[in-house]
Amino acid sequence: MPEQSQSVTEARTAATDAPPAGGVSRRALLGTAGATGLALGAAGAGVGYAAAPAQATPLSSVGSDRAMFHGKHQPGITEGLQARGHLVAFDLAAGAGRTEAAALLRRWSATAERLMAGEPMTQDDTDVARDAGPSSLTVTFGFGNSFFSRTGLEKQRPSALDPLPDFSSDHLDTSRSNGDLWVQIGADDALVAFHALRAIQKDAGSAAKVRWQMNGFNRTPGATTHPMTARNLMGQLDGTRNPKPTDSDFGRRIFVPASGSSDPAWMANGSYAVVRRIRMLLDDWEKLSLAAQENVIGRKKSNGAPLSGGTETTPMDLDKARADGEYVVPVNAHARITRPDQNGGAAILRRPFSYHDGIDADGTPDAGLLFVCWQADPLRGFVPLQRKLDRGDALSQYIRHEASGLFAVPGGAAAGEYVGQRLLEG
């Protein structure tokens, strides 16, 4: 569970008030409800998404925030952490191949574009998100290693998509790992996120079936007095050293370049997502004293500052020693081991969700982290970091990796394109 995790930016892109072409936005509908009330009797039951009056009540800031579907990169990578997330993998149905996959990605892209704009589905909308705005909804699509043999596109499979090596901390459930196709959904409203999940599942139709699905959450925007690094279920600030878009080498580390890369051309401006379900052994963790927890991580629990002193953003002094000669930041502290300068510059962009899937019969919580990290090359990003952690991270005895996946996530779709079009029609 490498330390580099932080919402990349706290800024949100606000939605416009104008309804998009081809439909009236959920924002407009909320304005109708706020100004006049919705007629839900016999006369109004069949109206559906009605136009807003001239004087509409605007959405709150959380509801109005909007991410863009079309762009150089897919959404859901550099946006800030979202309050609710769903990760879902699909396998193509028996007999489905390249043609069916192309039709599916076309449907999925059209649906994602509409929902991210705050519009309903074109037909059979469930009305789950009827009263909400876009709420920073993002939908991201990726391809697993097995997708290419299923579609006869083996020659287009990137070498970076080779299976991840085994790690000593792995206790993987293969039924909840990998998959032909992967979809990441995030939003700042739980109903908006579920609405998108249900729409994506319905769009799959007979072309693909769900292989596994996981639900996650983060702190809701506005819950703290000021923007700050998120906390995980261990109570630690989780994300202090995440690379930032303002870093001079951010693009090189996170995204496949448009030229000069060994990756196939269809991956230009794309990225690779490593997905891990990491269970936190919270009963064991919570038995530790505060000082012991801080020594495991190498940072203060209260404010994320390194044990060597300063604030959260102060560079860690790895050479600082106590009077007894021991390092202030222990040699096996998680934050020490994951520093890029201790790993040949290896860096990942972490964008995780916490999860809680209930309580086992013995009272043990099934909870932890849906770890999602992004990099231009997993063999230079996640793999060297995880190997280093495997060899002596103090945190390893308090976590367990239970599921894993690696997915090639192509660049964003241009206007008029669907995600993956350059692969499937190239």
- What is the per-residue pLDDT across 246-298, written as a single tens digit (0 to 9) for each? 999 999 999 999 998 999 999 999 999 999 999 999 999 999 999 999 999 99
Residue range 172-178: mean pLDDT, rounded: 98
Catalytic residue among 238, 263, 377, 393: 238
pLDDT at 51: 41
- Give the pair of three-digit tokens for residue 361: 């019969």
End-to-end CA distance of the chain: 37
Q: pLDDT per residue over 354-368, tens digit each?
A: 999 999 999 999 999
pLDDT tens readout for residues 151-167: 999 999 999 999 999 99
Sign of CA dihedral 130, 105, 369, 135: negative
Contact assessment for residue 282 and residue 367, using Cβ atoms and an 8 Å cutoff = yes
Tens-digit pLDDT profile for residues 179-202: 999 999 999 999 999 999 999 999
Identity of the residue numbered 143: F
Full 3-state SS string of the chain:
CCCCECCCCCCCCECCCCCCCCCCCHHHHHHHHHHHCCCCCCCCCCCCCCCCCCCCCCCCHHHHECCCCCCCCCCCCCCCCCCEEEEEEEEECCCCCHHHHHHHHHHHHHHHHHHHCCCCCCCCCCCCCCCCCCCCCEEEEEEEHHHHHHCCCHHHCCHHHCCCCCCCCECCCHHHCCCCEEEEEEECCHHHHHHHHHHHHHHHCCCEEEEEEEEEECCCCCCCCCCCCCECCCCCECCCCCCCCCCCCHHHHHCCCCCCCCCCHHHCCCEEEEEEEEEECHHHHCCCCHHHHHHHHCECCCCCCECCCCCCCCCCCCCCECCCCCECCCCCCHHHHCCHHHCCCCCCEECCEEEEEEECCCCCEEEEEEEEEEECCCCCCHHHHHHHHHCCCHHHHHEEEEEEEEEEECCCCCCCCCCCHHHHCC
- 195 versus 46: which is more confidently predicted? 195
**Which segment of 58-67, 214-223, 369-378 scores lowest on mean pLDDT?**
58-67
Which residues have a Cβ under 8 Å from the Cβ of 49 and sit 6 or more positions away? Answer: 23, 24, 26, 28, 29, 120, 130
Given a cut of 80, whether residue 53 has pLDDT beyond it is no
The residue assigned the tokens 């964003």 is 412
pLDDT attached to residue 54: 44
Which residues sit opposite 140 in a β-bridge? 184
> Quick one: average pLDDT of 226-247?
93
Q: pLDDT at residue 28 above 50? A: no
- The question of whether 238 is a catalytic residue gets the answer yes
Average pLDDT in the 62-72 region? Answer: 95
What does the alpha-carbon distance between residue 248 and residue 4 come to, in Å, rounded to a whole number?
17
